[in-house]
Each structure stands twice: as structure tokens, then as C-alpha cells.
């Protein structure tokens, strides 16, 4: 049932995107710049009045972020597979989607940039790359644990930077060092203890959720992410702290604590998944290249259509059982 709902969500998002491209939209009201092909929606919930307008691409992006944040922050409740196949796919989608967005933002040329479909490119390219990378995540083992740790570290670092005007660390090099050190520590520690898996997902999930909310409310909370990871000189980012940002930062603490407590009740599931994944490196039959059996990948039945089913682990080869001894004849 969960698989069907995910497919319906993806189908709805892609359908809305197609409708957006076929619509000759005109910006509503006075905007800081005119962008043909962009449909702006009325939004009275915007808290920060700096010329920001909610576009249909922003609506779709906010939905994706909110759904991904909820699923990541509460993955112990819905992913009960032995190896964590579902959360493995989700972390691959989120990680490579964010990496693609960051690359698009930092390498966008000056002048016209990506043209009149700029906002559509910023939405659809990371979305498609994330879906494609799910297929590659299906043939990895411990990598998704490191991705969870990395996402939690980035979320924790951004939360630290978001308490001061123009970020807590003014230097770009200082921010890079902070995020890099945190990412390395978290990515290593998740391999040794499932506690760090629970902590990282409890940090990353709510942060992504609040990023999606800020697309609709625009308190300026999202500017911490863009100001830190988008260093393109053609993009003007000004992170200002005010009551709305402080409220989002404070609510984020409560959401992380709630997510961690929920993980506490489902810790046996996450512990079993962590033990299963980490113990596979000790199995002599866990070989990808030398395994002669065909179709050794089990079914991978989440986030992928029917023709892309793959698996996360080869099935160990079971040694043939010796034949039973012949019966002993008895003489009466």
C-alpha cells in the first residue's frame, strides 16, 4: 500500500509539472523581476516581505521536502525491512538531489542563467537525478548509513550557523571546515553504533521538513541553507535573524527531540537493520563478482516502478546437504 501511495505522489508531481510547462503563465502583481513561464501563486502567509513570491515550482519543491523530511525523521515506524531497503532508497534520493541542486546553483552562469525555465530546471533536474540514483543505491550496503550521518551532520551544522546575523561563522572557509568535520565524524560514527543513526535521522528529517515549510511561510529560515551552500557571486543571499527565524530554530529543537523519542520506541528495528548491514562484511558468501548464481538480488519493492525492481544484497549460497544414510536392515 505504501508503494502505491508513493507512485501516486510522484505521478501527481510530474503531472503538475507538465501542466506548469504548458501554461502561458504571467507573474501576479509587482515582482522584483519578470520571469516568463513562471506561475506565481497568491500567498498571504509570507512572513518576510523582501519581494519573494511563491511559484508553482516552489509548491512542488515544498511538497517533496516535507514528505522526505517526515519519512526520514520517522523511518523507524514505516521501514521494517531487514536491511533497511526503503530508507536506503530515500537517503539516496535526498542526498543526490541536494548535491545536484547545489551544483546547479554554484555553476549557474551570469546573465540569463538557465533561461526562462530556470525555476523548472532547479526543481526537475534534482528530482530526476534523485530518482535515477535510487537504482544505484540498490547495489550498495553500508553507504546509506553514511548518507544518513552526513545529512544529520549538515543539518546540525546549519542549525548552529542559523543563530546569528549573516551566519554564526562569517568566513566561507570556516563554514566549510565546520560542515566537513561534522560530516566526517557523523559518517564514521553511524558505522559503529545505531544510536548515531537515530540521532542523525532525527536531526536531518525535521530540518528538511522545516525547509519545505519555509517555502510557504518564507521566514528567512531557508536562507541559511542557501547562504551556506550557494557561493555563486551572481546570487545575492542575505541571512537576517528576526523573530520568525528564531521561532523556526526553536521549533526545530522540539521536532528533533520528538523524532528522537519516536526512534527510541522503534530502536529495536533500527538496531536490527544496523546489525544486519554491518555484519554482511563478515559473510564469505557476500560477493558480487564471484557469485555464479543468476538473479541473486531479492525484490526491491519501494520507490521504483515494476520494471526497475532490484535488490540490496545477494542471497548467500547454501551448501548442499549430504544425503541421508541408508537404512540399517535388522535381522529378526
Q: For residue 47, which of 186, 172, 223 has the smallest C-alpha distance?
A: 223
Tell me what the pLDDT averaged over the chain comes to.
77
Ramachandran bin of 166, using left for φ above 0, alpha for ψ from -120 to 50, beta for the remaining angles = left
What is the rounded average pLDDT of the residues 28-47? Answer: 56
Please state, for a pLDDT cut of 90, what percent of the chain lies above it: 36
C-alpha cell at 232: 555563486
Where residue 35 falls among pLDDT bands split at 50, 70, 90? low
* DSSP 3-state of 40: strand
> Would the pTM count as exceeding 0.85?
no
What are the tens digits of pLDDT across the range 80-135?
888 888 999 999 999 999 999 999 999 888 766 787 788 889 999 999 999 999 88
| Residue 144 pLDDT > 70 | yes
Which pairs with CB-CB distance under 8 Å and at least 24 residues apart come from 23-26?
Answer: 25/56
Flag the least confident range among 122-126, 131-135, 151-155, 328-332: 328-332
pLDDT band of residue 307 (cuts 50, 70, 90) is very low
> For residue 323, is pLDDT > 80?
no
* 310 — pLDDT class (breaks 50, 70, 90): very low
Task: Tell me if residue 54 falls in helix, strand or coil.
Answer: strand
Highest average pLDDT, of 45-49, 52-56, 170-174, 251-255, comes from 251-255
More confident residue, 314 or 157: 157
What pLDDT does 38 receive? Answer: 63
pLDDT tens across 201-217, in order? 999 999 999 999 999 98
Kindly provide the b/e burial profile for residues 133-148, where b requires at least 16 CB atoms within 10 angstroms of the residue's own CB: bbeebbebbebbbbbb
User: Is 308 a residue whose pLDDT tops 50?
Assistant: no
Per-residue pLDDT, 247: 92
Q: What is the DSSP letter of 6?
A: H
Question: pLDDT category, 255, cuts 50, 70, 90?
Answer: very high
Q: What would the pLDDT profile of 282-294 be if each residue is shown by its tens digit? A: 655 454 444 444 4
Residue 171 has pLDDT above 80, yes or no: yes
The pLDDT value recorded for residue 11 is 44
Sign of CA dihedral 95, 101, 103, 105: negative
Task: Pick the range with the lowest mean pLDDT from 20-24, 144-148, 150-154.
Answer: 20-24
Is the pLDDT reported for residue 235 higher than 90?
Answer: no
pLDDT of residue 61: 92
- Of all residues in the chain, the percent with pLDDT exceeding 70 is 72
Amino acid at each position: 500500500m505504501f508503494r502505491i501511495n508513493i507512485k501516486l505522489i510522484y505521478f501527481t508531481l510530474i503531472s503538475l509539472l507538465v501542466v506548469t510547462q504548458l501554461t502561458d503563465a504571467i507573474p501576479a502583481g509587482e515582482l522584483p523581476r519578470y520571469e516568463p513561464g513562471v506561475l506565481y501563486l497568491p500567498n498571504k502567509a509570507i512572513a518576510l516581505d523582501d519581494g519573494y513570491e511563491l511559484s508553482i515550482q516552489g509548491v512542488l519543491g515544498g511538497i517533496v521536502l516535507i514528505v522526505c523530511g517526515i519519512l526520514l525523521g520517522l523511518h523507524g515506524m514505516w521501514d521494517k525491512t531487514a536491511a533497511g531497503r526503503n530508507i536506503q532508497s530515500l537517503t539516496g534520493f535526498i542526498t543526490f538531489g541536494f548535491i545536484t541542486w547545489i551544483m546547479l546553483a554554484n555553476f549557474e552562469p551570469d546573465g540569463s542563467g538557465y533561461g526562462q525555465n530556470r525555476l523548472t530546471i532547479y526543481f526537475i533536474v534534482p528530482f530526476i537525478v534523485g530518482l535515477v540514483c535510487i537504482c544505484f543505491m540498490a547495489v550498495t550496503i553500508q553507504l546509506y548509513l553514511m548518507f544518513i550521518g552526513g545529512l544529520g551532520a549538515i543539518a546540525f551544522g546549519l542549525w548552529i550557523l542559523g543563530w546569528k546575523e549573516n551566519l554564526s561563522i562569517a568566513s566561507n572557509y570556516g563554514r566549510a571546515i565546520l560542515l566537513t568535520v561534522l560530516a566526517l565524524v557523523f559518517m564514521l560514527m553511524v558505522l559503529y553504533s545505531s544510536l548515531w543513526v537515530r540521532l542523525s535521522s532525527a536531526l536531518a528529517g525535521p530540518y528538511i521538513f522545516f525547509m519545505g515549510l519555509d517555502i510557504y511561510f518564507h521566514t528567512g529560515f531557508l536562507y541559511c541553507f542557501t547562504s551556506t551552500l550557494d557561493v555563486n557571486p551572481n546570487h545575492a543571499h542575505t541571512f537576517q535573524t528576526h523573530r520568525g527565524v528564531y521561532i523556526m530554530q526553536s521549533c526545530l529543537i522540539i521536532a528533533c527531540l520528538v523524532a528522537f523519542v519516536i526512534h527510541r520506541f522503534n530502536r529495536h528495528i533500527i538496531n536490527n537493520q544496523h546489525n544486519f548491514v554491518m555484519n554482511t562484511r563478515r559473510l564469505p558468501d557476500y560477493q558480487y563478482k564471484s557469485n555464479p548464481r543468476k538473479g541473486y538480488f531479492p525484490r526491491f519493492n519501494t520507490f521504483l516502478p515494476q520494471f526497475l525492481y532490484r535488490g540490496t544484497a545477494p542471497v548467500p549460497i547454501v551448501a548442499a546437504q549430504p544425503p541421508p544414510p541408508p537404512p540399517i536392515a535388522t535381522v529378526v
